[in-house]
Amino acid sequence: MLNSKIPEGPIQHKWTQYKASAKLINPANRKKYKVIVVGTGLAGSSCAASLSELGFQVEVYTFHESPRRAHSVAAQGGINAAKDYKNDGDSVWRMFYDTVKGGDFRSREANVYRMAECSLALIDQAVAQGVPFAREYSGYLSNRSFGGVQVSRTFYARGQTGQQLLQGAYQALIRQTAVGNINLHTRHEMMDLVVVNNKAKGIVTRNLDTGEIKIMEADAVVLATGGYGKIYYLSTLAMNCNASAIWRAHKRGAFFAAPSWTQFHPTSLPQMGDYQSKLTLMSESLRNDGRIWVPKKKADDRPPHEIPEEERDYYLERKYPSYGNLAPRDISSRAAKEQIDGGHGVGPMKNAVYLDFDSAIAQEGKPTIEKRYGNLFDMYKKITGMDAYKQPMLISPAAHFSMGGLWVDYELMSNLEGLFVLGEANFADHGANRLGANSLLQACVDGYFIAPHTIMNFLASEKPHETIDQIEKEKLITDTQERLETLLKIKGNKTAEEFHKELGIILYTKCGLIREEAVLLEAKSQIQELQKSFYTDLLVPAGNQINFELEKAARVEDYLELALLIVEDALQREESCGAHFRKEFQTEEGEAKRNDEEFKFVSVWESLEKNVFKLHKEDLDFENIKVSERSYK
């Protein structure tokens, strides 16, 4: 049933071959086709701009006031590309290998290879748009190193690489609103997907300012709505990041792959109190020069500078000598949690580890470190009031990136025809753990280089503008209206935010960095309870126009359903791989122990009815890379 549609032939030629044989539409006929793009982050903006440049009509939706606010803006460290500007042995092949290995051999080879291949042109595109990447004094582009690799292939614009790339994509998008064929709908939320005969034919939208609910019809729908790490409530994500668009599509039949694979970022700021609404990320690039340590003695209350060298445990350097502080994220996060749980945590809540720049400042001098990370140190000071030039940073793992997402085939199309899913919203490229600086890359190549070809290939076999039945349309609008009215009518005593916080605690403690069957079962019943009480105790203030509480409530309702699927997925996968660490399945040294015999597949879920899930499997074939135990020692 699941056909990933991977083209035949050697991996190096698959994408070239695909493009050479993909169906085209005559430029004059393209304007007859309409494509909806939901989301204006890197994936959405770049896809919308590229489609408009080709001549398609594009309707773009974002719940933000401006497309430039999308959360791609917050990515700090960089974007990978196999340019081999450093002459350090990099190549498309090596990047492909690093990414598959980094993902603990749970991603699709052909997709990963294509991402590495397209990385070359992406840097060219971004530079042409005016993205001010860091440069050497000679005028050439500069690179740095990121976790999980031994080459320097990361391009960066200080600690604001996501912002700068998004500026490029946003400017391309906004340019097309003036000179091309883009209609931009800001402050509009996608409430539902319109599916006719198993094909995506439009979306139901709500104008968040006026409350008006409408249907937009189209010949294809693109969801580029980002990740759902915010389901853990405390996360590195923005407050409004949500799973609603992909969850609503899932409820209409789009399969959801690997929902429980959420990456915990090792260098976030720790939680400082109950009032806290988010955890701010400190870029992984800091691990190039910062050394991570904890006191060897448990519950050591001495300030860091009073702890002598021999009483410090640089645990990453000790456990993973060849990668040291640049061990991949899943491994670094888990190692930090082990130290914290083992009583070595530092900071006021004893929930952090140190990231120390003393040696780097001594070796390279403060001005060099300031140049590299100045804005990150400033940000750290703004948030914590502490000076990281003088004392080590406090860092802690936090929910960050969703490797899981809607299932897509090689064309980035869901099992629902005409529904394309891009960027973090899909599952395809990162396996069970994403490497740093591959997220911006995936979002960009999906939008600029892949989707425009695959969408055109799909549309070429479609008749443009098949309209949806009027009665069906009215029913869809009524369904959404009734759903929101139900939420408004509950009139209990708990806010959506309170439900979200409770859900977050359950997921963090029971389905987070470390998972275990008995504990997951507890999580399941607690979430079921919470979901039940949501429909009796929720309190949403009245009002159909600007009502942020109503927006939140609808998103939390979706989160509660998705949370059950996340737990189901974590329960079903009786192995450890990447970010998914089951306590029952570990090596003697405490590393993740995969079970390739039984679990070398992607778990793909269908919802039969509310909270009833059916598992499908996409077997993963590794024809080019030898599947091995993943070691960074």
Partner 1 sequence: MKLIIQVWRQESRDAKGKFEKYNLEGLDENMSVPEMLDFLNEKLIKRGEDPIAFESDCREGICGQCGFVINGHVQSPEKQATTCQTHLRSFKDGEEVFLEPFRATAFPIKKDLCIDRTALDRIIAKGGYIGVNTGQAPEANSILIGHDTAESAFDAAACIGCGACVAVCKNASAALFTGAKISHLSMLPQGKLEAKTRVQKMVAQMDAEGFGSCTFTGACEKVCPQGISLANIVTMNREFWKS
Q: Which of 66, 467, 525, 628 binds partner 1 (CB under 8 A)?
A: 66
Q: Which of 88, 209, 466, 629 binds partner 1 (CB under 8 A)?
A: 209
What SS3 class is residue 190?
strand
Q: What is the three-state SS of 87-104?
A: CCCCCHHHHHHHHHHHCC
Stretch that binds partner 1, among 24-32, 116-124, 242-250, 318-326 (CB under 8 A): 116-124
- Is position 34 an interface residue for partner 1 (rule: CB under 8 A)? no
CA distance 270 to 281: 9
Q: Which of 127, 196, 468, 477 binds partner 1 (CB under 8 A)?
A: 127
CA distance 396 to 333: 8
Q: Can you spell out the DSSP letters for 315-327?
A: HHHHH-TTTGGG-
- Restricting to residues 434-463, name those near partner 1 by CB under 8 A: 448-449, 452
What SS3 class is residue 594?
coil
Which residue, 221 or 444, is less far from partner 1 as judged by CB? 444
Q: Does 94 participate in catalysis according to the annotation?
A: no
- Is position 212 an interface residue for partner 1 (rule: CB under 8 A)? no
- Is position 363 an interface residue for partner 1 (rule: CB under 8 A)? no
- Restricting to residues 254-273, name those near partner 1 by CB under 8 A: 272-273
> Do residues 607 and 613 touch, judged by C-beta distance below 8 A?
yes
Please report which residue ranges of 276-427 form alpha helices under DSSP H.
315-319, 329-339, 358-364, 366-384
- Is position 606 an interface residue for partner 1 (rule: CB under 8 A)? no
Which residue, 7 or 67, is less far from partner 1 as judged by CB? 67
- Restricting to residues 548-587, name those near partner 1 by CB under 8 A: 548-549
CA distance 209 to 70: 18
Is the sign of the CA dihedral 144, 148, 150, 153 positive or negative? negative
> Do residues 120 and 449 touch, judged by C-beta distance below 8 A?
no
- Is position 102 an interface residue for partner 1 (rule: CB under 8 A)? no
- Restricting to residues 302-361, name those near partner 1 by CB under 8 A: none
Which residue, 500 or 580, is less far from partner 1 as judged by CB? 500
DSSP element (H, E) containing 189: strand 188-196
Q: Which of 2, 12, 32, 53 binds partner 1 (CB under 8 A)?
A: 53
Amino acid 533 reads S
Q: Which of 6, 58, 79, 157 binds partner 1 (CB under 8 A)?
A: 157
> Do residues 396 and 353 touch, judged by C-beta distance below 8 A?
yes
- Is position 68 an interface residue for partner 1 (rule: CB under 8 A)? yes
Contacts with partner 1 by CB under 8 A: the residue count is: 79
- Is position 537 an interface residue for partner 1 (rule: CB under 8 A)? no
Tokens for 533, please give them.
């009480």
- Restricting to residues 476-535, name those near partner 1 by CB under 8 A: 493, 495, 497-498
- Is position 285 an interface residue for partner 1 (rule: CB under 8 A)? no
- Looking only at the bridges linking them, the beta strands covering 256-257 and 405-406 are antiparallel
DSSP element (H, E) containing 349: none
Strand partners, 613: 607
- Restricting to residues 230-249, name those near partner 1 by CB under 8 A: 238-240
Q: Which of 13, 16, 88, 383 binds partner 1 (CB under 8 A)?
A: 383
- Is position 183 an interface residue for partner 1 (rule: CB under 8 A)? no
What is the nearest approach in angstroms of partner 1 to the Cβ of residue 510? 25
- Is position 389 an interface residue for partner 1 (rule: CB under 8 A)? no
- Is position 175 an interface residue for partner 1 (rule: CB under 8 A)? yes
Stretch that binds partner 1, among 90-98, 164-172, 321-329, 624-632 (CB under 8 A): 164-172
- Looking only at the bridges linking them, the beta strands covering 353-356 and 601-609 are unpaired
Q: Tell the residue number behind the tokens 């294809």, with chain if given.
A: 220
Among the options 30, 287, 329, 434, which is catalytic?
329
Q: Which of 30, 69, 114, 287 binds partner 1 (CB under 8 A)?
A: 69
The packing angle between helices 42-54 and 161-179, to 10°, is 30
Beta-sheet strands, E only, within 349-500: 353-356, 393-402, 405-406, 419-421
CA distance 180 to 58: 9
What is the nearest approach in angstroms of partner 1 to the Cβ of residue 529? 22
Stretch that binds partner 1, among 134-142, 325-333, 434-442, 602-610 (CB under 8 A): 134-142
- Is position 174 an interface residue for partner 1 (rule: CB under 8 A)? yes
- Looking only at the bridges linking them, the beta strands covering 419-421 and 79-80 are unpaired
Q: Which of 186, 207, 544, 586 binds partner 1 (CB under 8 A)?
A: 186
**Catalytic site residues?**
329
